[in-house]
Amino acid sequence: MEATVKPQGCTNLKLRQLSRRVTRLYDREVGVTGLKNTQYSLLSHVVLLGPIQPSALAARMKLNASTLTRNMQPLIAQGWIRLEPGVDARSRLLVATDEGKALRAEAQRAWKRAQLSLNERLTPQRVVKLHALIDECMALLDEAEDEGSSDE
């Protein structure tokens, strides 16, 4: 007979604790470039996907529009990304500037150091398992969310 598994503690708290620890590791490396972790991620997405509409970027990064707007303002103020006119009068496109592309390249090297450090501390095998578990959990939560919205 199989024993009943009962998780102990708050899953949200445990995930937040892990997230803060991982974020500190990345912030130490990426921070030397003057970027926060969230700014590096946003800048990288704009460099790789741009020109891109803010709404499409928010969807791709799984952010709501107000969070994206708040996070991109410092990047625009520093001249690392620009908001340009889109295909019609109401649309806009995010574009990385040359300075933004250069900063992203520098920050990418710092990010790589953080990534390798994390892999070394946790082991590559554990990181692969962690990624798979996170992806699986995200899919299950997305599925549940989709089912919940179809009930309305």
Q: What is the model's pLDDT at position 137?
A: 94
**How many angstroms from the chain centroid is the CA of residue 152?**
30
- Give domain status of residue 125, yes or no: yes
Q: What is the model's pLDDT at position 2?
A: 65
Number of domains the chain contains: 1
Average pLDDT (90-110) is 95
124-150 helix and 98-122 helix, angle to the nearest 10 degrees: 110
- Give domain status of residue 21, yes or no: no
Domain of residue 60, CATH code: 1.10.10.10
> What pTM does this model have?
0.78
Give the mean pLDDT of the chain.
Answer: 91
Burial class of residue 114, CB neighbours in 10 A (0-12, 13-18, 19+): buried
- Give domain status of residue 57, yes or no: yes
- Give domain status of residue 54, yes or no: yes
Q: What is the model's pLDDT at position 115?
A: 95
- Give domain status of residue 130, yes or no: yes
Question: pLDDT (tens digit, 9 = 90+) per residue, 26-66?
Answer: 999 999 999 988 899 999 999 999 899 999 999 999 899 89
- Give domain status of residue 4, yes or no: no
Boundaries of domain holding 37: 26-146
Average pLDDT (63-91) is 91
- Give domain status of residue 13, yes or no: no
Q: What is the model's pLDDT at position 78?
A: 96
- Give domain status of residue 18, yes or no: no
